[in-house]
Every structure is written in structure tokens, then in C-alpha cells.
Structure 1
């Protein structure tokens, strides 16, 4: 079967050519569209945002200090976001993992591989500055937190999506293969 995206030169005319074409298509890297990224990250983003707003608004009950409100919002967002992603990745890994312990271990490794660099940059530099700046520039803390969050998310997802792609291309996400070894076909 051919698709609109498939170049005419790859359309097979014999069964042997069709088998070779299918192998070539299967080996080609999968492009991930915007729908994939939305489905993957939106539930975690919603949970993180709700936890961020709750944490930040609870902090406003005790203080008007923008840095403390930003830290409370940041901690809430981290907890909400990673709780959902841990479950998501575990569900991806559990069917092919031989034991629950192996699925949990793979989940932890994939969380670090996909989000480690993005999270370090985000947690210690980008997000606190963006949240603090948002709360400082916008009089309403809720809108300030949301504006800061959006600015920080742009940087975060640029790094995290790249890391996801690397883990997928190297075979680290495939639980049926040993850790990170890529299948070689000829």
C-alpha cells in the first residue's frame, strides 16, 4: 500500500521489491506529528498546571513574596507533571517487561533520559525566572504564574522532545530489546 508521503520511486512493482520496500519503510525513522506530542504531554501538562496553580495560590495565603510563590508553584508543577508521566511511561513499558520491577526500572531510566537535561535547565534556571518575572510583572498572581509557565514550557519542550526522539531512535524505549541495543536488519 502506498501513501501520499511515499515517494514514487519506492512504490514496488514485484513481490520481492514490495518486501524490500516494506523493510526500508519500517527502518525509516518515524516522524511524530503535533497530535502525538499533544496526546503524550497534555495530560501531564494539565495535572502539572493544576498543581502549580494550587501550590502558588496556597503560598499567597502566607506571603506576598514573588520568589516564595514561584517556588511553591514550581514544586506543585513538578509533582503533578511527573506523577502523570511516570504512570504514562509505566503503562508503555509494562506489557513488554518481564517483571514489574523491570517495568519500574525502565520507567525511571526513561524519565531521566527524556526529561533529565530539560528538567535541570528548567528547574534551576528557566522556570523560576519565568515564574518570578510573571508574578512580578503581572499584578494578578494567577495570570503571572500562567504567563511564566507558558514561557518556560516552550524551552522545556524543545529540549524534552529532542531527548524523546533520541531515546526512540536509539532503541531505549523498546522494552523488547536489551537496554538501548538497536536491532540490525539486512
Structure 2
């Protein structure tokens, strides 16, 4: 597999920035409201995911619309389905382990371990991203030839 670091940074970088902001905001607010580390870990995970995948989906739709428009074709519900399928292939396996196990567990334990809510949440996000991106990038590269040609 070719190392497409610039492409990966362009694809995932802005989504990560949004995800970090959403994660920290949701975790901080949830902890203030509930004082619960479990609720904080789940809220941080879900808010980060919503921001991340919302951006990635919007990016894919925008790129596909632009590509189809240049070819004189319309973006349709079928095309949206293909965009969604490509995202499931790209992130499905990585996301199952990440959202259901790794990220919430790290966001629960690390704030306690480091003695700082925001520091622990940020460290948890960074560590979880390592286990998330390896399978996600491999799947993305494998899916480009078959699932991302419109």
C-alpha cells in the first residue's frame, strides 16, 4: 500500500479538529451536569463521532457531487447510498471496536489516572485514534478503487 500521508491528512485532519472540539465540549458539559465518568465517556465518544463522521460524509458528498457535475450527471439517492456504503467499508470494523470498547474505556479511566478531566479525555482520544486509524486507513485505501468511483 502506498503511503498517502498528505491525502490522509486532508481527509481526516479537519474531521479530527472538529471531533476534538466536540469531544472536549460534550465531556466537559456532561461532567459538570452529572459528575459521572461513565456519562462523560459516552457523551465525549458520541459527540466526537457525530462531528467526525458528519464532516467525512459531507466531504464525500461534496466531492462526489462535484465529480458527477463535471461529468454532466446528477447526484441521486442511489449515489448517497454508495457514499454511505463506502464509509461503512472504510470505518465499520474500526468503529465497532473504537466506539463500543476502546474509546469509552479510555475516556473513563484516563481522566481519573492523570487527575485531569480535559487532559485525560484528550489523551484518551489520541490513544484511541491510533487503534482506529490503522484499520480505517487500510480499508480506505482498499475501497478507493471499487467503492469511490462514481
TM-score, structure 2 normalization: 0.90
Pairwise CA distance, 1:92? 2.2
Pairwise CA distance, 1:34? 1.5
Partners of 1:93 and 1:106 within 8 A in 2 = no
Aligned residues: 145
Structure 2 Cα separation of the partners of residues 134 and 88 of structure 1: 32
Query: Max radius of gyration: which structure?
Result: 1
Pairwise CA distance, 1:137? 0.7
Partner of 1:37: 8
Q: Does 1:114 align with 2:90?
A: yes
- Which of 30, 39, 44 is equivalent to 1:68? 39
Partner of 1:51: 22
- Which of 128, 132, 142 is equivalent to 2:104? 128
Pairwise CA distance, 1:55? 0.5
Pairwise CA distance, 1:105? 1.4
Bigger relative contact order, structure 1 or 2 (CA pairs below 8 A, ≥6 apart): 2
Partners of 1:60 and 1:69 within 8 A in 2 = yes
Partners of 1:52 and 1:76 within 8 A in 2 = yes
Structure 2 portions without partners, runs of 5+: none
Alignment of 1:142-157 (within 5 A): 142-157=118-133
TM-score, structure 1 normalization: 0.73
Pairwise CA distance, 1:107? 1.6
- Which of 134, 137, 145 is equivalent to 2:113? 137
Pairwise CA distance, 1:40? 0.8
Structure 1 portions without partners, runs of 5+: 1-28, 176-186
- Which of 52, 77, 81 is equivalent to 1:81? 52
Partner of 2:148: 173
Pairwise CA distance, 1:101? 1.8
